[in-house]
Structure 1
Amino acid sequence: MSKIVTDILLTKDPLSMNNVISKISHPACGGLSIFVGTTRNHHDGKKVVKLEYECYSKMAKKQIQLICDDTRSKWPDVQNIAVHHRLGHVPVMDMSVIIGISSPHREDAISASKHCIEKLKANVPIWKREIYEDGSEEWQENKECDFGKT
């Protein structure tokens, strides 16, 4: 019997799709769902050249683990979950986050991966600064995040 895997990675190194696929692959699973978030080249009419991510690593990993646990409670057939998030500078078109989930059937894998990214954006203390072509920069708040809101 294959061991269930939860792989959480916060790194300044470029992310690897192949690494995520190897972490979530499971012999009983016919559905692998992967969400990839990349740095886009614009925001609010400004040309973005890169993003910079920072986090409180210990708290971020704890929150990601809670999201993975919650995901498994909602989709009990989910086998393996990988949540890899890049820190530091992430140039345009580079991957900033990869979420991979395996399940025996595609419907659960797809639904669970959507749930994971939405919960990550709303609950995990990872902060993003946009660096623009003109040299200016601005910290961006996740619209989904409710930190400090009353």
Structure 2
Amino acid sequence: MNHIKFTKDTLSMEQIFNISHTSSSSAVNMFIGTKNILHEYNKANFECEEFCQQGSKFLNNVCIEARSSWPHIENIVVYFRIGQLSEAETSIVVAVSSHLDKEAIKATEWVIDRFRTFISTWDIEISPVDSSASNCSNLKNSREINQNVEAPYIPPYLVQIKAMNNEIEERISRFMQRKRSDIDVHNIREFCCGERNSEFTCARVDAVLQKRKDSKSHLQVHRVLNSYQHRDQKNSNYLTQFIPPNGVEERLGNVESQLSLTVPVPKDIFQRLKLIEDRLLQLESISPEYIQFWDRVSLPTSRSSKKRNFCIDEVDDLITELEKQIKGN
């Protein structure tokens, strides 16, 4: 077994020997350190609770490694004394019992060397160059994680929900109850058949698989026949017919329909104008009065008239000429 202890009491050699010795062991090797092993370091760093906890954990691992190297070891005892000691007082005792003398001696020496390495490493990690005795007392507090989070300031007008904790908890509980009831209703509809009015039945216990129509499970399946055959994924040029035409396009379209142009209409506007002109020339060659028809239906243009003053002789001449025309007819 492993016996590890950090204490401020005086170390008893007889007690440590009795702990390490067994009836089956043939040798007990003890190392007694009468000089303080911490005389080169800051003693304040080794009197705190953190050092005792980490030291015990480290020595337990050392004992496991020693037993793997020397399998005949039975008991390992390490007692370490902390606090103010004089030169004659015992500071550390290491005792190892084994079936073989050589293994007990080698294991004791190895444990002492590993423990000295741990002490030097601890002093370097914990104590800065200007360390003081108060650092060890605050060591545990300094290693604790500060969980206080500073929340940023939020203006009151940005807060949408203003309620006390009791009201928020009540809202959460009601929401959970409502969701739970919805799930219960759904389970009853999916898994329970018939009326379940008895208070000793529930969907969780009396669940029965109900196959749906055209389905191999209890889930309802809806099959939809898509008759469009993914039309929306093809070319969408057919949508251009719904785009309203501009002014020029509309006027050309009206003229083409009036002239009965049934040939495919090209997209170029100049080609369309050329087709319209050719169509008009063809109509004029077939029936010359076609152009006169358009002249007649055209709106009369207003001409500017000017007043003229006639003398008596000119008026007489006009009357005479008009009489001759009437008589000639």
| Pair 1:105-2:105 in alignment | no
Query: In structure 1, what is the equivalent of residue 79 of structure 2?
Result: 84
- SS of the residue corresponding to residue 79 of structure 1 reads strand
* Partner SS for 2:108: helix
| Percent identity (aligned) | 27
Q: Quick one: which of 18, 21, 25 aligns to 2:21? A: 25
Are residues 1:54 and 2:47 paired? yes
Question: In structure 1, how many angstroms separate the alpha carbons of the residues matched to 2:14 and 2:5?
Answer: 14
Say which of 117, 121, 127 aligns to 2:116.
Answer: 121
Give the alignment's TM-score, normalised by structure 1: 0.70
Structure number with greater Rg is: 2
- SS for the counterpart of 2:74 is coil
SS at the partner of 1:88?
coil
Task: Determine the C-alpha separation between the residues in 1 that align with 2:86 and 2:63.
Answer: 28
TM-score by length of 2: 0.33
Aligned-CA RMSD value: 2.4
Give the equivalent residue in structure 1 for 2:185: none
Q: Residue 38 of structure 1 contacts residue 94 of structure 1 at CA under 8 Å; is this kept in 2?
A: yes
Question: Quick one: which amino acid aligns to residue 31 of structure 1?
Answer: A
Q: Which ranges of 4 or more aligned residues in structure 1 deviate by more than 3 Å?
A: 124-127
Letter in structure 2 aligned against 1:19: Q
Match of 1:95 in 2: 90
Tell me which amino acid in the other structure corresponds to 1:7.
H
- Given candidates 4, 8, 14, the residue that maps to 2:10 is 14
How far did 1:126 drift? 6.6
Cα deviation, residue 28, structure 1: 1.2
Residue number in structure 1 paired with 2:69? 74
CA shift for structure 1 position 54: 2.5
Deviations 1:90-116 (A, max 9, x none): 111111000000001211100100001
Which whole-Å CA distance do the structure 2 matches of 1:39 and 1:91 have between them? 8
Alpha-carbon distance in 1 for matches of 2:101, 2:109: 12
Q: C-alpha separation between the residues in 1 aligned to 2:2 and 2:12?
A: 16
Q: Where does structure 1 lack aligned partners over 5 or more consecutive residues?
A: 45-50, 128-138, 140-150
Q: Which has the higher contact order (CA 8 A, sep 6+)?
A: 1
Query: Which structure: greater helix fraction?
Result: 2
Report the count of equivalent residues.
117
- Partner of 2:64: helix, strand, or coil? helix
Residue equivalent to 2:273: none
Distance 1:114 1:85 in 2: 16
Task: Output the amino acid matched with 2:112.
Answer: I
Counterpart amino acid of residue 110 in structure 2: H
